[in-house]
Chains A and B, each alone.
Chain A
Amino acid sequence: DAGVIQSPRHEVTEMGQEVTLRCKPISGHDYLFWYRQTMMRGLELLIYFNNNVPIDDSGMPEDRFSAKMPNASFSTLKIQPSEPRDSAVYFCASGPRDRLIYTFGSGTRLTVV
């Protein structure tokens, strides 16, 4: 089992550009979560999916952020346009049906300059 796979590991982009982060969850997991981690705010839940359907996106900071899960093995988090305050580490996690244990990916470190 390769675990949760995120790409890229690092992303540096200029303000105003579109950024797309990618996640491949663990096969068989029903739930997928996107988190953002900063020194100031710690870990924040942005959005989560159940069986590819977005359930709660109340953590998405604003309309510049969007997430999709077109199938059970792939999800994207898109920021358009990006801003310097979006700089953070973005984690994807997946979990089985009982949702008691999440498995996190290694994260994407995003820097917007």
Chain B
Amino acid sequence: KNQVEQSPQSLIILEGKNCTLQCNYTVSPFSNLRWYKQDTGRGPVSLTIMTFSENTKSNGRYTATLDADTKQSSLHITASQLSDSASYICVVSVRSGGSYIPTFGRGTSLIVHP
């Protein structure tokens, strides 16, 4: 069964600190992995997307890594800001015929305190 597991479920850090969120998946055959940020009451917004051949992708203070051998991804946030408080969702897709089928993680809830 295709699954995406994220950890930790929730995280509280102080403003300015770094943090790393984890995503493990059993999705196969792998096509791509995306990290989304979802602010409370809003729709998810794409942060990064990585295909099989990519092992790191940065978007400002966000850096995602991918190890396709161990089926693990991480999202590292540098010098956190209050606006980083949100849910972070890992989505792994398989390619089936002409379609991409996504499997969603449950998300990590991040709270950044001043």
Q: Give Cα A109–Cα B89 distance, bound, in whole angstroms.
A: 19
* Secondary structure dominating the interface of B: strand
Q: Give Cα A50–Cα B45 distance, bound, in whole angstroms.
A: 21
Stretch at the interface among A11-19, A38-46, A61-69, A73-81: A38-46
What residues make up the interface of A, taking CB atoms closer than 8 Å to B? 4, 42-45, 50, 55-56, 91, 93, 99-107
Q: How many residues of B contact A (CB 8 A)?
A: 18
**What are 22 residue pairs bridging A and B, where the CB atoms are less than 8 Å apart in the complex?**
A4-B43, A42-B104, A43-B44, A43-B89, A43-B107, A44-B104, A45-B104, A50-B99, A55-B99, A91-B43, A91-B44, A93-B43, A100-B49, A100-B100, A101-B34, A101-B46, A101-B49, A102-B46, A103-B46, A104-B43, A106-B42, A106-B43
Q: Give Cα A55–Cα B106 distance, bound, in whole angstroms.
A: 24
Q: Give Cα A43–Cα B101 distance, bound, in whole angstroms.
A: 13
Q: Give Cα A88–Cα B50 distance, bound, in whole angstroms.
A: 30
Q: Give Cα A106–Cα B100 distance, bound, in whole angstroms.
A: 23
